[in-house]
């Protein structure tokens, strides 16, 4: 039971981090964009690790969070289609 609560809390933190990053990518300029790209990479890695663990992440939620990360990448390079 405790593991489920910890994982739920972790997923909430991950979702919040993705939301904040998505907002930041809409405003980035220059060097800051490269730093945000690194952040996106890290969050994408974390999301994939959660999926691998099968830690109660529903497909719809995974797709939603993954879509937000793709959108963040698009903000950094709007001419690239992901």
- 81 is a domain residue: no
* Direct distance between the N- and C-terminal alpha carbons of the chain, in angstroms, rounded to an integer: 38
pLDDT band at 18 (very low <50, low <70, confident <90, very high): very high
- pLDDT at position 57 over 90: no
What is this structure's pTM?
A: 0.78
- Of 8-12, 30-34, 45-49, 71-75, the one with minimum mean pLDDT is 30-34
Residue 68 within any structural domain of the chain: yes
Does residue 46 lie within any of the structural domains? yes
Would you say residue 1 has pLDDT above 70? no
Confirm whether 59 is domain-assigned: yes
Confidence bin at 53 (pLDDT 50/70/90): confident
* Interval 62-68 mean pLDDT: 91
Decide if 19 is inside a domain.
yes
- CA–CA separation, 13 vs 34, rounded Å? 23
CA 13 – CA 8 distance, rounded (Å): 9
Query: Per the structure, how many domains does the chain have?
Result: 1
Q: What pLDDT score was predicted for residue 74?
A: 87
Is residue 54 assigned to a domain?
Answer: yes
Q: Which residue range(s) make up the domain with 48?
A: 2-76
């Amino acid at each position: 039971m405790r593991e489920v609560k910890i994982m739920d809390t972790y997923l909430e933190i991950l979702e919040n981090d993705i939301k904040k990053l998505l907002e930041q990518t809409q405003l980035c300029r220059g060097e800051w964009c490269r730093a945000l790209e690194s952040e996106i990479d890290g969050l994408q890695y974390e999301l994939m690790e959660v999926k691998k663990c099968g830690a109660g992440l529903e497909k719809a939620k995974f797709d939603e969070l993954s879509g937000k990360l793709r959108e963040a990448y698009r903000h950094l390079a709007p001419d690239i289609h992901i």
